[in-house]
Structure formats: structure tokens, C-alpha cells
């Protein structure tokens, strides 16, 4: 598609073309240099008797003038508004509550705007259970993507006017309706009630008796229709229930990555976090899965199973539960994991009514068995809410199949598709692309000229969600509003308005939604005036219907034995392929977001690629290279299932993966930002349509191509080498026993006065940290940290962290201020400190336990980095912050070398200009630059940078408190990472405020500081990880 040379306004002034601004912006230098106009005037020259001496005077003067002019820097002073919008103060951020739904993630969000630019997305913490993940808080960047579709285009990608497009489409619709043809609307799950009603009206207008047969088909890029079918069979209702992980004391997940990608993972992560506090009732989590997912890495007990065995495992679990509860066994099952399943069943039964079993399989019968287990455990009504079903997934694979068949038969006259990219995400066997050719008129409404759009006659740019009005009905009885925070950057029109136009009742979606809420929701609210109701809902971003709930318990009524035998039927094969989603990229609609591409995968720590994951043993057998590193080359293979052969992919060893399986991440194979070549390989074609879409394939095979490939990982050594100073972990019973020395002994060193706690040992009279008022610090709970990486992207967005790209990451130069260290447990003997001992310690176990450790500047009170800086560019604030003075830094990198935590990041290149980064660093793009946070300096080349503990937020918070002449309340200030954490693992606060949460954490038994024996006295407190399992098994 041709790129439009559109001018992007850099602020209200330019938009409103305020004369002073225009003038200033054109006038970079003082243009009045007297000698010029003297020389220019002909007669002045002739008349004036300028002697050589005079001329020299002028010359001298002009040179001086020129010099002065050149000293003048570009005008940077802020120009006041002619008429200032009352809510908008330059330099002060505005927050708008809104709603995020992209067909995959749902989240109630707060949008931070500065001078009318949305720059940061946070969870709407006013609402319980609201959280964000990396995908949600990174989505703000894509608003400023200049690769977005900027104007309506036709098949060839040539620009067309809205008028023409509308005319064509309407006539096509009319024609189809006249001849009683088929009109199809294909979308992702529609969660917006108003949009749904628009579609219904649309159907009403063009369809009906003697008119076209109009149908709305919804599907999901990652299908859940197996589960929906199972529920309709079990309870007579086709829906996805709401899960309440926070009420679950025992959780069993069979291949469901519910913490990072499965269903409403943001919500579940928050709920899960609540149950992982060892001081209260700590939940016990069992995971059965093929590859090591984020959820699996957090499980207390994890068993690697073949994807084809999910059904068997479910059945065996059902039987085991039946045994214990005196229920009736069923036939089938027969998986080899009896002990683990027995163990899980016992735990479930012990938590009867407070337990939860979920399954990631999209197979109806498997889901029925799972429902049966939950029913047998009496979880319905407690941990699973059938009365308030979730509306986030409504797609039906059978409908999609039916549609593609119609298309391929050439029966569809008009196909309107929006929200989603079926041509890319649907299984190749479905033949969607081929079907498209036989459709009369194909219209796509999308933000990108994507794979589907390229097959369409017209592609109409939809607004980015930050430019659009919208509403949502995520679960029954809960309604949310989404409001625009910026006027559309491009010549785009949001879907609803397009549909309304074609229905001949053009209307802004704002008016429509308002009307819809007035007619449908306002009556339920009991408010007196609609204005109040509307404003309140808009301010909160959410409205909950307070209708009395019907409490009749829908009882489970499906044929278990049939389902069980069906579930157990699937045969296993020599090599099984499973397709999974990565935390960063999800279903792939954000694949073009450089922030997410550079976010390392929580488990593999690999960026910018998808790859084939394999068990180390399988790779050894094939002689593949297991190591990651700058100059370590991974072997390339092609994967083939049946007649499908993938493009080349590198192979990467994944500890914890079931031998005999290979995994490939979905959502890759797309262009990123301005990158010309595609990143990774699209794995969707491997998904298979048999009734419901299956993401497991048997009979896969890999063939070595002999090519090598450099994979870019941010962490290349995988174990903690038995260093208890870095990671402290224990098991629940040891912790409950309550003797700190057993799980978190105080770090002490022998001195001439005997054993002395490190924090008391000092060479000099230490600085007094109490007198200074505040002592800012953070506490990080290793127990609730699930490693999702939401904090990392939030930090990138808040602190303008540059994107450096695959090659630089490979060279170990990623710039993330906040990183999450992932350590696998090793099977080696940690006491053996011999050479061979250390060697074996470096090897992660084949089925390791995983621990995540968020790592950022520890803000040490005795900071090694400060001492060594020759120019005092990094010093300590009297509030305990380790400060970095960029414009004083000369870049000796001595501080980074001397940092025991290796959290300092150096600007190796001029990231905002160097040619190497043009293609993926947003700050090099005129528009992408608008996402930058004006409160944070963009660092120059050759300067050291690191976590500042969001000092700009601290200052803002202190000013706020000052304005209210009150002390800074605990929780009033929060860092980007802390507020982005869906599980609230990170707490920011004032260590001197003894009543603060962080002070309590610090006082607690689990508190420790990383490598405390070095004596750096950090202000970051870590809380020991506690696994809910028996010590015997540890």
C-alpha cells in the first residue's frame, strides 16, 4: 500500500494552526541579520559611501550576528492555548477510564494522556479485579504506527474515497438483497452490545422475507467453541462460564495457560495471585501440559504429558475423583501418570467445592469430562459461575466451517468482515482464502491492510480503540464503556459508523451508544437523570446491573461415559506438534508491536522470533545445538504434518517439555513496525478443523535443513547455580513451621566479634537514612510473581526505553530497565563445588521447577556504582534513590561493571537516529515519537541509564501531597511496574513509614535482599518463594 504523506500535528497549537506557533516553528534562526538587507538594497549600496573600512565593520557585525543567530536553538518554549480546554493543563497528565477488548484480552483500563496524547495504559485499579498484561499496556504504541491503514483502499491497495467505497458497497448490498442472495458478516466475538444491535438492525434492513439471507458469523482467532459446545451439552446453554480462581483452594489445569493466554487471562492472573499468599490459605496448583507454559512454570506440581493425552488425563482424573468421592467410574482413560493424577485428585477432593479444574483442549468431549469432574467436586456455583457467563468468547467453529463451505460454493454475494483476520488465523484446511475469490463483494474493515484485507475488494480503515467510542458486556450484568482519547490520526471511520452509513441511518457511534445505554441500561440503573448515569458510568468506565440473580443451580447433564471414551480415543504418535500462544504476541494481532517483540518470552527468554521447542533429550538424539548465546547457532528445521510443510524455524531446547513433542508459537510471520522482512513463521495453517479447531497435530515430523540461525535471547544461562543469596525458596509446610532460619536465615558473616549480621557490618559511619524523611523502596513477592512481563512493557512505555532489535538483543544489549530473571532448577548436587559439579549445575533439569525474579536497579544504600563514577554522574538521593544524571555521564561503563546486579544499561548507539534502528525503534518515527513520556528524558548516545524507580511519578506524588498539605499516603505513589502487575507482586512504598505495606513486608519473615552479603544494602526487598508442596518431594 502506498504511504500517505499526511502531516501529523504535534500538539493542539499546530492542529488549530495557531499563528504564533506556525511563525515560531518556521523561524528556527533569527532571520534579521542587518548586513543582509543592507547588501540587498541596490540604491543603499550606490548612495552610501561605504568605505572598505565600513564594509569590514559590517562584515564583522554580520559575522557576530550570524554567530548569535546560530546560538539560537529551535524554539522549545511552550505556547499557551488561545482558548485552553479546562481539563487540559500543559505538563499535567489526564487519566481517562476506558475499556480494552481485542477479541483476545479484556481489561478495564486507565489511559494516561499528556497534552492530548495517550502515552500510557494502566489497569483501572478503582475496579476490583482489573489488571493489564503486556499485550494491553503495549497497545498504546500501535496507535502511532504509521503502517496502519490510513485511508480506504481497494483490492490493489490504491486509495479510494469514502463516498465511492460506500456507494459501491451499498449498491452491492442492495443488489444482493434484491435477488435474495447471501450476505455474511464475519467477525470476532462481539462483546459490545451496541455493536451487536447495529449488526442485528443491519440484518433487519437487508435481510428478512424476500430479501437477502443475512447472517452474522462470529469466530475466535483462538477457538473455544469446543468448550462452548461442551457447556451447551452439559447445561443446555452455549456459553463460557466465569471462572473464579480466587475462590479455588486447589487448581488443576490440563494444558490451559490461564495465567497468560487462556480466556480472560488478565482477570485470572489477578485472582490466582490472591490465592498464592502463603500466610493465608494458599492454593495448590497442578498442571498437566506438553510444553512449559507460564502457568505450568508457576505450578506447584507439574506433569509433562503428550497433547494427545489430555483427554486420557481428564478421564483418569475423573475416575480418581470418583474413587475418592464414591462416585461411579467410567471407562476409558489409561494415561501413564497414575501417581500424579492420584495426587491431584486427593488435593481436589480435600478442597471439595473450593477446587477448580480447567482444560485448554478445544475438544468437546474432553471439556465435557472436565465439566463432569467439576460437577462431581461441586465447584459449580463456587469457583465456576454459570449465572454470570462470560461473553468474551462466542465464536462457533461450525458456523465458520459452514461459511467457508458456502464461500467455496460461490453462494456468498457480500462478505463484510471486521475485528479479526480470518484469512491468516484460520486453518489452511478450511480453504478460507480460496473461498474469498468466489465471493461477490468482499469488504474488510481493519486497522491494517492485513492478510484478509488483501483478499477484499474494499478495505476501510477502522479507528484504533483509543480513537473510538465503544462499550462492552464482558460478563452478564457487567457493562463497560470505552471512550476516545485522541481524534483519529488518519482518514479512518469506526466500524459501527460504516455499518450505520450502509444502513442508510448515518450517525456517530457516540450518539448510538448513548442512545443504546439510555434505552437499555439506564432503566435498570434506577438513576433519576440519564446525564448523571451516563457521566458516572463514563467516569468509572464500568456499570454493573444490580438485578437480583436467579440462583437455580443448573445441574450437569451430559453423557460422561460417551465423552470419556471419545476423549480417550485419540492415539499418540511418534512426534506430536502443539501450537501455543506466547505471552507477548498472543494470537498475533499485536505481532507488529516492537515493544512486544522485544519483550522476552517469560519462559524461554527469547525475543523477536518463534521457533520449534523440543525436549533437550530429543535434540541431543538429533545432534542439535542446545545452547543459546551471542555466537551460538541454532539448527534450522522445517516442520511437516501431512502435506503441510512449514518454512524454516530454529530449534530451541525447552526444559520441562514432554519428549516426543514439538511446540510452535502462533501469531508470528508478520512485519514488525517498519521492518521489511517478516518476523518468525505463521503456524496457524497447522491448526486443524475437525468439528472444532484443534491446535494439536499428531504425526508431525521435522527435517534438518542444515542452515544455522542466531536466536536472540536475553538470558542464556538458565540455573541459579545453587546461589541461595540470589533466590530463596521453601515449601509451605516448612514456612508454616515458622522458624525463619529454616527457610530465610539472616545473612551473617564472621567478624572478630563473632558472627555478625551483614547489615550491621560497616567500614565507615553509614549515612543515616531515617532522618531524610522518605526512604523509597519496593518489595517483590516471588510467590505471586508469575513472570508475565507486564511490568517490563509498562516500564518501557513509562520510561521511553528504546527498542534495539533482534541483533542487538543477541549481543546482550537489550535496554530494558526492568527484566525478569527466570531460573530453572537443576538436578545436580548443589553441594558439589568441584569443577564437574559446577558444570552439571549449569544444566537445567529435564523437568525443572521454575522461579521468576523481577530484577531492576536495587537502589543500594551503599551503591558500588556510585563510588566508581569519576564524574559523580550517579549519586544517592537522601530519599534512598540511586540517581542517574544523564547529562553529566561520560559513559565509562565502570558503574555497570561494578553493579553486582548488572541492571545498568548503556546507550551503545544513538538509538533515536542510528540507521541500524530505523526500522523498529518507534522514537525514530515522527509519529511513533508521540508515545514518548515527556516527563522522562530520551537518553543520548554513550550515556548510562537504569531504573529510576519512576522518580517522575514520585515527584508528582510528592507535589500532589504538598498541594493538599498532607503527608504522602502509602499507595498514593506507584511505579509503572507496580501498577502494571496483574498479581500485585510488586509493592512500592516508603520504608521509613513504619505503617506502610512495604515496611510490613520488610519486617516479615520472608523478606530478604539479593546477595546481601556483598553489603550493598539495597532498598528493594524480595519475599521468599513458597511452593505449596510436601518437602518430601522437594
- Our CB check for other proteins shows the closer of 364 and 905 to be 905
For the beta carbon of residue 241, count every other beta carbon within 10 angstroms: 23
* DSSP states of 863-927: -HHHHH-TT--EEE-TTS-EEE-GGG-----HHHHT-TT---EE--S-TTT-GGGTTT-GGGSTT
- Our CB check for other proteins shows the closer of 11 and 864 to be 864
- Give dist(CA 1023, CA 781) in Å, integer: 5
Site for other proteins in 821-880 (CB under 8 A): 821-823, 833, 835, 838-839, 853, 855, 860-872, 875-878
CA distances from 1018 to 606, 636, 881 (A): 29, 44, 10
Rounded least distance, CB 631 to other proteins, Å: 6
- Our CB check for other proteins shows the closer of 45 and 890 to be 890
Rounded least distance, CB 656 to other proteins, Å: 18
- Interacting stretch for other proteins, rule CB under 8 A, among 127-135, 338-346, 377-385, 758-766? 758-766
Note whether 751 binds other proteins by CB under 8 A: no
- Which string of x and - marks every residue 232-271 that binds other proteins (by CB under 8 A)? ----------------------------------------
Strand partners, 1007: 1023
- Interacting stretch for other proteins, rule CB under 8 A, among 162-170, 569-577, 616-624, 1011-1019? 1011-1019
For the beta carbon of residue 923, count every other beta carbon within 10 angstroms: 17
> Between the CA atoms of 377, 383, 388 and 394, what dihedral angle is there, to the nearest 10 degrees?
-80
Rounded least distance, CB 991 to other proteins, Å: 15
Contacts by residues 869-875 (CB-CB < 8 Å, ≥ 24 positions apart): 869/894, 869/895, 870/894, 873/944, 874/944
Rounded least distance, CB 410 to other proteins, Å: 57
Residues 350, 751, 760, 767: which binds other proteins (CB under 8 A)? Answer: 767
Note whether 759 binds other proteins by CB under 8 A: no
CA distances from 713 to 172, 664, 726, 917 (A): 51, 17, 21, 18
- H-helix or E-strand spanning residue 316: helix 310-325
Note whether 889 binds other proteins by CB under 8 A: yes
- Our CB check for other proteins shows the closer of 565 and 625 to be 625
Note whether 736 binds other proteins by CB under 8 A: no
Note whether 893 binds other proteins by CB under 8 A: yes
Backbone dihedral angles phi then psi of residue 1021, each to the nearest 5 degrees: -105, 135
Site for other proteins in 894-953 (CB under 8 A): 894, 896-898, 900-902, 904-910, 914, 940-944
- Give dist(CA 585, CA 127) in Å, integer: 26
- Our CB check for other proteins shows the closer of 144 and 901 to be 901
- Give dist(CA 388, CA 242) in Å, integer: 7
- Which string of x and - marks every residue 596-635 that binds other proteins (by CB under 8 A)? ---------------------------------xxx----
- Our CB check for other proteins shows the closer of 693 and 943 to be 943
Rounded least distance, CB 880 to other proteins, Å: 10
Site for other proteins in 180-209 (CB under 8 A): none
852, 787 contact by CB (below 8 A): yes
- Give dist(CA 724, CA 1012) in Å, integer: 10
CA distances from 195 to 204, 514, 526, 867, 966 (A): 14, 12, 24, 61, 46
- Which string of x and - marks every residue 789-808 that binds other proteins (by CB under 8 A)? -------------------x
- Our CB check for other proteins shows the closer of 88 and 1014 to be 1014
3-state helix, strand, coil in the chain (%, to 5): 35, 20, 45
Q: Estimate to the nearest angstrom the gap between the alpha carbon of 463 and the chain centroid.
A: 20
Q: Is residue 965 classed as helix, strand or coil in its secondary structure?
A: coil
Note whether 890 binds other proteins by CB under 8 A: yes
Site for other proteins in 696-735 (CB under 8 A): 715-721, 723, 725-726
* Helices marked H in 208-275: 225-235, 265-274
Residues 565, 572, 840, 892: which binds other proteins (CB under 8 A)? Answer: 892
Strand order through the sheet with 470-472? 470-472, 478-482, 542-544
Site for other proteins in 376-395 (CB under 8 A): none
Site for other proteins in 88-127 (CB under 8 A): none
Site for other proteins in 21-40 (CB under 8 A): none
- Our CB check for other proteins shows the closer of 328 and 878 to be 878
Rounded least distance, CB 870 to other proteins, Å: 4
- Our CB check for other proteins shows the closer of 421 and 858 to be 858
> Total residues at the site for other proteins (CB under 8 A)?
80
Q: What is the DSSP letter of 746?
A: P
78, 19 contact by CB (below 8 A): no
Site for other proteins in 964-993 (CB under 8 A): none
- Interacting stretch for other proteins, rule CB under 8 A, among 41-49, 250-258, 927-935, 1006-1014? 1006-1014
Residues 11, 891, 971, 1004: which binds other proteins (CB under 8 A)? Answer: 891
- Our CB check for other proteins shows the closer of 477 and 942 to be 942
- Give dist(CA 721, CA 718) in Å, integer: 9
* Cell numbers for 368: 465435557
Amino acid at each position: 500500500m502506498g504511504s500517505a504523506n499526511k502531516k501529523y500535528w504535534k500538539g493542539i497549537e499546530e492542529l488549530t494552526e495557531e499563528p504564533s506557533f506556525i511563525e515560531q516553528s518556521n523561524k528556527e534562526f533569527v532571520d534579521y541579520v542587518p548586513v543582509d538587507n543592507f547588501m540587498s538594497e541596490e540604491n543603499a549600496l550606490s548612495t552610501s559611501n561605504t568605505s572598505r573600512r565600513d564594509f569590514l565593520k559590517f562584515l564583522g557585525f554580520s559575522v557576530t550576528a550570524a554567530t548569535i543567530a546560530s546560538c539560537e536553538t529551535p524554539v522549545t518554549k511552550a505556547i499557551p492555548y488561545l482558548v485552553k480546554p479546562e481539563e487540559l493543563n500543559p505538563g499535567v497528565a489526564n487519566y481517562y477510564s476506558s475499556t480494552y477488548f481485542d477479541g483476545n484480552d479484556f481489561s478495564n483500563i486507565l489511559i494516561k494522556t499528556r497534552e492530548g496524547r495517550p502515552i500510557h495504559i494502566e489497569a483501572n485499579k478503582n475496579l476490583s479485579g482489573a489488571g493489564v498484561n503486556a499485550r494491553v499496556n503495549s497497545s498504546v504504541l500501535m496507535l502511532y504506527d504509521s503502517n496502519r491503514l490510513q485511508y480506504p483502499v481497494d483490492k490493489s491497495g490504491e486509495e479510494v474515497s469514502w463516498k465511492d467505497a460506500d456507494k459501491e458497497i451499498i449498491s452491492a448490498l442492495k443488489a444482493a438483497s434484491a435477488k435474495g442472495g447471501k450476505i455474511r458478516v464475519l467477525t470476532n466475538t462481539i462483546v459490545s452490545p451496541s455493536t451487536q444491535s447495529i449488526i442485528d438492525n443491519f440484518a433487519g434492513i437487508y435481510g428478512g422475507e424476500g430479501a437477502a439471507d443475512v447472517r452474522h458469523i462470529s469466530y475466535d482467532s483462538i477457538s473455544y467453541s469446543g468448550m462452548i459446545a461442551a457447556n451447551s451439552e452439559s447445561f443446555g446453554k452455549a456459553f463460557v462460564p466465569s471462572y473464579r480462581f480466587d475462590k479455588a483452594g486447589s487448581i488443576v489445569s490440563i494444558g490451559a495457560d490461564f495465567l497468560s493466554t487462556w480466556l480472560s487471562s488478565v482477570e485470572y492472573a489477578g485472582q490466582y495471585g490472591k490465592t498464592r499468599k502463603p500466610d493465608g490459605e494458599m492454593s495448590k496448583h497442578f498442571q498437566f501440559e506438553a510444553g512449559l507454559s507460564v502457568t505450568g512454570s508457576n505450578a506447584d506440581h507439574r506433569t509433562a504429558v503428550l497433547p494427545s493425552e489430555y483427554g486420557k488425563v481428564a478421564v483418569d482424573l475423573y475416575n480418581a475423583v470418583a474413587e475418592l468421592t464414591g462416585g461411579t467410574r467410567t471407562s476409558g482413560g489409561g494415561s501413564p501418570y497414575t501417581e500424579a493424577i492420584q495426587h491431584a485428585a486427593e488435593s481436589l477432593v480435600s478442597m471439595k467445592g473450593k477446587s477448580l479444574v480447567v482444560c485448554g483442549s478445544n475438544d468437546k468431549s474432553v471439556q465435557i469430562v472436565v465439566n463432569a469432574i467439576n460437577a462431581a467436586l461441586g465447584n459449580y456455583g463456587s469457583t465456576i459461575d454459570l449465572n454470570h457467563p462470560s461473553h468474551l468468547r462466542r465464536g462457533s467453529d461450525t458456523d465458520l466451517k459452514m461459511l467457508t463451505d458456502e464461500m467455496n460454493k460461490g453462494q456468498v454475494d457480500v462478505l463484510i468482515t471486521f475485528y479479526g483476520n480470518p484469512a491468516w488465523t484460520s486453518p489452511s484446511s478450511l480453504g478460507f482464502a480460496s473461498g474469498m475469490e468466489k465471493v461477490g463483494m468482499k469488504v474488510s474493515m481493519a486497522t491494517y491492510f492485513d492478510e484478509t484485507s488483501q483478499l477484499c475488494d474494499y478495505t476501510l480503515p477502522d479507528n484504533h480503540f483509543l480513537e473510538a467510542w465503544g462499550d462492552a458486556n464482558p460478563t452478564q450484568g457487567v457493562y463497560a464503556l470505552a471512550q476516545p482519547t485522541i481524534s483519529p490520526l488518519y482518514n479512518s471511520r469506526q466500524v459501527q459508523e460504516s455499518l450505520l452509513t450502509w444502513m442508510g441511518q448515518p450517525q456517530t457511534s457516540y450518539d448510538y451508544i448513548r442512545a443504546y445505554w439510555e434505552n437499555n441500561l439506564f432503566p435498570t440503573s434506577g438513576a433519576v437523570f440519564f446525564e448523571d448515569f451516563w457521566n458516572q458510568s463514563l467516569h468509572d468506565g464500568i456499570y454493573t446491573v444490580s438485578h437480583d440473580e436467579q440462583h437455580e443451580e443448573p445441574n450437569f447433564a451430559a453423557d460422561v461415559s460417551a465423552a470419556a471414551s471419545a476423549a480417550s480415543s485419540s492415539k499418540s504418535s511418534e512426534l506430536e506438534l502443539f501450537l501455543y500462544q506466547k505471552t507477548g504476541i498472543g494470537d498475533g494481532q499485536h505481532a507488529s508491536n516492537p515493544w512486544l517483540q522485544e519483550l522476552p518470552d517469560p519462559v524461554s527468554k527469547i525475543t523477536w522470533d518463534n521457533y520449534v521447542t523440543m525436549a533437550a533429550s530429543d535434540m541431543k538424539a538429533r545432534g542439535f545445538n542446545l545452547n543459546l548465546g551471542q555466537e551460538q547457532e541454532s539448527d534450522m528445521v522445517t516442520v511437516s504434518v501431512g502435506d503441510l510443510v512449514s518454512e524454516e524455524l530454529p530449534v530451541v531446547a525447552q526444559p520441562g517439555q514432554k519428549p516426543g513433542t514439538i511446540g510452535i508459537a502462533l501469531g508470528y510471520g508478520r512485519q514488525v513496525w517498519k521492518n521489511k522482512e517478516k518476523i518468525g513463521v505463521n503456524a496457524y495453517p497447522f491448526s486443524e478443523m475437525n468439528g472444532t479447531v484443534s491446535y494439536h497435530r499428531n504425526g508431525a515430523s521435522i527435517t534438518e535443513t542444515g542452515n544455522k540461525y542466531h536466536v536472540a535471547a536475553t538470558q542464556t544461562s538458565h540455573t541459579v547455580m545453587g546461589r541461595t543469596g540470589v533466590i530463596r525458596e521453601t515449601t509451605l509446610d516448612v514456612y508454616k513451621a515458622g522458624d525463619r532460619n529454616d527457610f530465610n536465615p539472616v545473612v551473617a558473616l564472621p567478624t572478630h566479634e563473632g558472627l555478625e549480621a551483614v547489615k550491621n557490618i560497616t567500614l565507615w559511619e553509614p549515612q543515616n537514612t531515617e532522618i531524610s524523611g522518605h526512604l523509597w523502596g519496593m518489595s517483590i513477592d516471588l510467590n505471586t510473581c508469575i513472570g508475565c512481563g507486564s511490568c517490563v512493557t509498562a516500564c518501557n512505555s513509562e520510561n521511553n526505553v528504546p527498542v534495539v532489535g533482534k541483533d542487538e538483543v543477541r549481543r546482550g544489549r537489550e535496554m530494558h530497565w526492568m527484566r525478569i530473571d527466570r531460573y530453572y532448577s537443576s538436578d545436580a548436587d548443589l553441594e558439589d563445588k568441584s569443577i564437574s559439579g559446577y558444570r552439571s549445575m549449569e544444566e537445567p533439569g529435564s523437568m525443572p521447577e521454575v522461579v521468576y525474579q523481577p530484577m531492576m536497579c536495587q537502589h543500594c544504600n551503599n551503591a558500588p556504582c556510585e563510588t566508581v563514577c569519576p564524574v559523580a554522574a550517579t549519586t544517592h538521593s537522601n530519599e534512598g534513590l540511586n540517581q542517574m544524571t544523564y547529562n553529566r555521564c561520560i559513559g565509562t561503563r565502570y558503574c555497570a561493571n561494578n553493579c553486582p546486579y548488572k541492571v545498568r544499561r548503556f546507550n551503545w548507539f544513538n538509538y533515536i537516529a542510528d540507521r541500524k534502528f530505523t526500522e523498529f525503534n518507534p522514537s525514530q518515527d515522527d509519529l511513533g515519537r508521540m508515545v514518548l513520556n515527556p516527563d522522562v528524558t530520551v537518553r543520548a548516545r554513550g550515556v548510562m541509564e537504569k531504573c529510576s524507580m519512576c522518580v517522575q511519578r514520585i515527584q508528582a506524588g510528592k507535589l500532589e501531597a504538598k498541594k493538599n498539605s498532607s503527608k504522602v499516603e502509602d499507595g498514593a505513589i506507584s511505579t509503572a511496574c507496580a501498577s502494571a502487575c496483574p498479581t500485585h507482586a510488586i509493592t512500592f512504598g516508603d520504608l521509613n513509614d513504619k505503617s506502610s505495606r512495604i515496611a510490613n513486608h520488610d519486617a516479615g519473615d520472608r523478606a530478604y535482599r539479593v546477595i546481601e552479603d556483598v553489603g550493598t544494602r539495597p532498598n528493594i526487598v524480595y519475599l521468599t518463594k513458597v511452593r505449596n508442596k510436601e518437602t518430601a518431594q522437594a
